[in-house]
Amino acid sequence: MYLFPRFRVLGAVGLVLLFLIGINSYVSQAGYAGFSDRNNVPVFGHNIEGSSLFQENSTQGWSADGSGGCLISSFPSVVYNVDIQLPQGARIDYLRIYYYDSSPTNANGWVTTYDGAGHYTDIAFVTSANAAGYGTNLSSGPIGHTVDNHNNAYVLNWRPNSIGSSQMLCGFRVAYYPVGETTFYRYLFVAGSALRPRSHISSVFLPMITR
């Protein structure tokens, strides 16, 4: 008489466990790092380096070309960057740059990791290679860096050495292997116009909030 309710309870518990296992598998594949809040409740998310956040528009410092895809700098040697998100445990092997360059000097691109405690590591480097016009160049490699979203934030950087439309960043592409994959690369493509200057003379003002 009392077997059916017990089976129903056990079945419900089993379904909950399967659901939690499925969520954990999805989170792992999606690349979210695990954290705990003050109540030791599991929380999942990504680290984002603070220096990669800026206002979307500026009256000075940078602009986009007519197609909106390439970044034009108004100041030489200013570093532009953007936060990137890659799957947890993936292996970064190459960084490719897409650009327009008719200047006599190269522009530089690289990937940096930040640990949130004032330390950083540059893990990939590539230049514009003095092309006469539009071009692309690949970093040396394979780099073999394993993505650790729990302890690091990842940032793409670009430093032009000429101003104006003679040297533009049109995009970056990061080649990586997902966890367990060693045959076919996956790619993260970022348009040049998505990057913003790491430091500039424009100001951002936020209203004071009192409580």
The per-residue pLDDT for range 68-95, each reduced to its tens digit, is: 578 988 887 789 999 999 999 999 999 9
- pLDDT at residue 117 greater than cutoff 50: yes
pTM for the whole thing? 0.67
In sequence order, what are the beta bridge partners of 120?
114
Label residue 15 by pLDDT band (50, 70, 90).
low
What integer pLDDT is reported at residue 200 of this predicted model? 53
- pLDDT at residue 116 greater than cutoff 50: yes
Domains of the chain as residue ranges with CATH:
3-45 (no CATH), 50-197 (2.60.120.260)
Is 28 or 143 the better-scoring residue by pLDDT? 143
Nearest to 196 by CA among 95, 83, 113, 85: 83
Average confidence score pLDDT of the chain:
75
Long-range contacts of 32-39 (CB under 8 A, 24+ apart): 32/88, 32/149, 33/88, 33/148, 33/149, 33/150, 33/151, 34/150, 35/150
- pLDDT at residue 136 greater than cutoff 60: yes
